[in-house]
Chain A
């Protein structure tokens, strides 16, 4: 009984040390995205195309495309020298890169060195994340008692969602404590600088951890791989499992994850015109309520098997995404609401500039269901008015919708449902990926499909879905806002069928020790 208690205590120590580091890595990765607008104004000259190119490359390509390369590089190291040391290196690399982003002088101070340094550091962030996740998942799985891998690795799975949540909270707290000017001047650097402290704490916790018992045993018996890359991808037997992991699980997981957490956010802000603070809050509530389900489905996968829990998540997603997003759109569709005409407020104000005035008109409309729509129209009445490419005076128009009551609750529920899909596909996947590869090439083999599925298929989702929606809008499709969903739907459908037909119990149990 005492031994069992000691074992449980030991695994909690492993989970705590691994999860904290992985959480910090996700925090570091997301903080760049959450502050990308500030970053672009500080490090990139807005009117210079070369720097704009670097900016796009840094925020778009580096974050996602470099991750599989990190998986290969650090995965190989992890299979050669061990899991513990490798994911210590990735943690240091991520923390160092994030801290240094917060230290880079602005473009006004050091010119083009600023965007160049940001690009290099963002590349290092991507590489570090590519190496970290596989290491942490493998390390935890190899410490887990038999038959409980799904449960214990699911704690690692919560870190990605929780990392996004923590990044949003840290920014929100700093914004609240500082004035807008202070935040814009130096406050935005604090979330980056804070990373060094968090990484140091995580390092102190991790440094006393033991190497994974399965890897240690394999090393003692001389069963580790001399060439993990060749053994993983140059060997047809293993390569077919890498392909199966990618196309039968990781690809679908990636698009479901990014649809629920990122596409939903941009859909609320850009398509539904929901006010930014309200959209962030709604997503935050749904994330917080949904996160425990990673553990629920991870544990359930130990009893029912990994395959069908993941596939049910994909199937539900592909069948219900369109109705869910249609319902979301309806919640802020002002044409379907009844306006309280007597409550309409129109305010005009003139904002003086160096070049005359800008006329700002605020129209506030209230609807019978409690929805408030605030439209701000800024028309240029300056002496020398700014004009667009066609020579017309620039008129800025911004609509912000605020939901309340039942509509607010409904939107939280609709986002929460998508988070549940994420927990279904993501909760058991670490255990699944670990189990289909043998110890000697596990770190390398599981990291690559995960980061291609999540980083490339998932990471490209916002761009591809937006492209599909814009094309549909240009073609006059009244339901254009649903067209972007075809990308996650098709990918999930293909992944579902591949998973359903080709994954079987024997591939999961063949590597059990």
Chain B
């Protein structure tokens, strides 16, 4: 189980990068460029709130998983 947890760490890091790409390139920036007020707010929240939480948070979680921080002996 310990090895699976570590290997899955790579998956979480990859997902964090993927989420950052979609949040910024697909959702965030197009919303910021429409010129509509409601899109602007949505874009700001996606880029500055959701993206950091998902990307940095999930990335860090993946890193901890990869380095064995979630092994039973360290819990």
Interface residues in chain A, defined as those with a beta carbon under 8 Å from any beta carbon in chain B: 49, 52-53, 56-57, 60-61, 65, 236, 239-240, 243-244, 246-247, 452, 456-457, 460, 463-464, 467, 494, 497-498, 501-502, 504, 506-507, 510
Q: Which residues from chain A contact B41 at a C-beta distance below 8 Å?
A: 53, 56-57, 60-61
- A56 near B45 with CB under 8 A, answer no
Q: Report if A456-B53 is in contact (Cβ < 8 Å); known contacts: A56-B41, A247-B58, A467-B27.
A: yes
Jot down 29 A-B pairs with beta carbons below 8 A, ordered by A.
A49-B37, A53-B41, A56-B38, A57-B41, A60-B38, A60-B42, A61-B45, A236-B69, A239-B60, A240-B64, A240-B69, A243-B60, A244-B70, A247-B12, A247-B61, A456-B50, A456-B53, A460-B50, A464-B27, A467-B42, A497-B8, A498-B12, A501-B1, A501-B8, A502-B5, A502-B65, A504-B75, A506-B72, A507-B75
Closest to B11 in A: A497
* Among candidates B27, B42, B57, residue contacting A247 with C-beta atoms closer than 8 Å: B57
What is the 8 Å Cβ interface bit string for chain B, positions 44-60, against chain A (1 contact, 0 not)? 11100110010001101
Closest to A60 in B: B41
Complex Cα–Cα for A236 and B58 (A)? 15
What is the 8 Å Cβ interface bit string for chain B, positions 1-42, against chain A (1 contact, 0 not)? 100110010001001000000000001000000000110111
* Among candidates A60, A240, A497, A510, residue contacting B70 with C-beta atoms closer than 8 Å: A240
Complex Cα–Cα for A398 and B44 (A)? 33
* Among candidates A56, A460, A504, residue contacting B37 with C-beta atoms closer than 8 Å: A56
- A53 near B37 with CB under 8 A, answer yes
* Distance in Å: Cβ of B39 to nearest Cβ of chain A: 10
- B45 near A460 with CB under 8 A, answer yes
Complex Cα–Cα for A236 and B63 (A)? 12
Complex Cα–Cα for A464 and B5 (A)? 30
* Distance in Å: Cβ of B32 to nearest Cβ of chain A: 14
Complex Cα–Cα for A501 and B40 (A)? 38
Max chain B CB contacts within 10 Å: which of A247, A456, A457? Answer: A247
* Distance in Å: Cβ of B9 to nearest Cβ of chain A: 10
Q: Which residues from chain A contact B65 at a C-beta distance below 8 Å?
A: 502
15 new A-B contacts, CB < 8 A, other than A243-B60, A464-B27, A501-B5, are A53-B40, A57-B41, A60-B38, A60-B45, A239-B60, A240-B64, A243-B57, A243-B64, A247-B58, A456-B53, A460-B50, A467-B27, A502-B65, A502-B70, A507-B75
Q: Which residues from chain B contact A236 at a C-beta distance below 8 Å?
A: 64, 69
Q: Which residues from chain B contact A60 at a C-beta distance below 8 Å?
A: 38, 41-42, 45
Complex Cα–Cα for A65 and B42 (A)? 12
Complex Cα–Cα for A498 and B70 (A)? 11
Q: Which residues from chain A contact B72 at a C-beta distance below 8 Å?
A: 504, 506
Complex Cα–Cα for A467 and B1 (A)? 39
Closest to A243 in B: B61
Max chain B CB contacts within 10 Å: which of A243, A463, A494? Answer: A243
Max chain A CB contacts within 10 Å: which of B8, B38, B65, B75? Answer: B75
Complex Cα–Cα for A493 and B37 (A)? 33
Closest to A242 in B: B57
* Distance in Å: Cβ of A236 to nearest Cβ of chain B: 7
- B40 near A246 with CB under 8 A, answer no
- A494 near B69 with CB under 8 A, answer no
Complex Cα–Cα for A502 and B2 (A)? 10
* Distance in Å: Cβ of B37 to nearest Cβ of chain A: 5
Closest to B65 in A: A502
Max chain B CB contacts within 10 Å: which of A53, A56, A502, A504? Answer: A502
Q: Which residues from chain A contact B53 at a C-beta distance below 8 Å?
A: 452, 456
* Distance in Å: Cβ of B52 to nearest Cβ of chain A: 10
Q: Which residues from chain A contact B50 at a C-beta distance below 8 Å?
A: 456-457, 460
Complex Cα–Cα for A152 and B31 (A)? 44
Q: Which residues from chain B contact A243 at a C-beta distance below 8 Å?
A: 57, 60-61, 64
* Distance in Å: Cβ of B13 to nearest Cβ of chain A: 12
Sorted nearest first, the 5 A-B pairs with minimum C-beta distance are A243-B61, A53-B37, A56-B41, A240-B64, A502-B70
* Distance in Å: Cβ of A449 to nearest Cβ of chain B: 10
* Distance in Å: Cβ of A437 to nearest Cβ of chain B: 13
Q: Which residues from chain B contact A467 at a C-beta distance below 8 Å?
A: 27, 42
Q: Which residues from chain A contact B37 at a C-beta distance below 8 Å?
A: 49, 52-53, 56
- A506 near B57 with CB under 8 A, answer no
- B69 near A65 with CB under 8 A, answer no
Q: Which residues from chain B contact A464 at a C-beta distance below 8 Å?
A: 27
* Distance in Å: Cβ of B68 to nearest Cβ of chain A: 11
Closest to B48 in A: A65
Complex Cα–Cα for A365 and B2 (A)? 63
Complex Cα–Cα for A425 and B67 (A)? 29
Q: Which residues from chain B contact A239 at a C-beta distance below 8 Å?
A: 60
* Distance in Å: Cβ of B1 to nearest Cβ of chain A: 8
* Distance in Å: Cβ of A307 to nearest Cβ of chain B: 13
Q: Which residues from chain A contact B49 at a C-beta distance below 8 Å?
A: 65, 456
Q: Which residues from chain A contact B46 at a C-beta distance below 8 Å?
A: 460
Complex Cα–Cα for A236 and B61 (A)? 11
Complex Cα–Cα for A494 and B49 (A)? 19
Q: Which residues from chain B contact A247 at a C-beta distance below 8 Å?
A: 12, 57-58, 61
